Structure 1
Amino acid sequence: MPKAITPSDVKLIAEMIREWPKGQPFKWETICLGAKSILGYEPTRQALHKKPVLMSAYESKRQQLRTAVATLKKVARPQSMLDAIERIAKLQEENDLLKAEMQKLAEIANRFIHNASAAGLSRERLMAPLPKKEKG
């Protein structure tokens, strides 16, 4: 007779479900096979399905996978390999420009923080929210 599924087992199985690899089919049967490494035996689908934490993790992961598929379907497919290469090159160039811009902004922010600290402003004062604009 299989041992009872403990709360720590449920936690480990839920974590396994949340971190499910993209290449493997996401079905209860494969989840049961994966749970075998945690429990030492292959549980039934019904045994796992009874645990609310596992059901919640399963539904969340299933929704996440569906959303990812829907997002991929919205991406325009290139007409040819040349179009794909040009698009990748353009995106890479844009990515490089944005990285350079982020680096410049980080340098400016560090300069501002250094100068403000040198002027005696505390970190708390620097991080204080901006004052709200008055209507009128």
Structure 2
Amino acid sequence: MARNRHIKPEQVVTIVNAIHTWDRGAIAWDDVCKLAKPVLGYLPSRSGLSSHADIQAAFSARKKNLAQQPEGKMPSPGSLADASRMLAARDAEISALKKLVDEYRDKFDRWRYNAMLHNVTIDRLDAPLPQIARRK
């Protein structure tokens, strides 16, 4: 297997969508690697896939979601109209969350740039909050 192959952004999106739609029980990195093989044309390594933040986030979210999901099938909607309303509500929520994530990314980029201008180090940014001395 060749090392350090570049994964294109559209391939990352395809892999992330495959992770989000995973419905075969618990998910593992081996499963994600097998999912990615037809997309990439080779069997990638776990470290190669997890180095992409979007793939790592999708994997962690799906794994957490599957762990919290009760066993068995989820109840299906009573009618096609109910299903359509449920999907429309989820689509609206997803688009709102995507917009929020984009706003947070923009804000983070602005903060990172300003911190760099003022020579603020990562260690200083990651410093813990001070303890508050409270009276008893």
- Return the TM-score normalized by structure 1: 0.48
Instruction: Report the structure number with the largest CA radius of gyration.
Output: 1
If each structure's helix is expressed as a fraction of its own residues, which one has the higher value?
A: 1
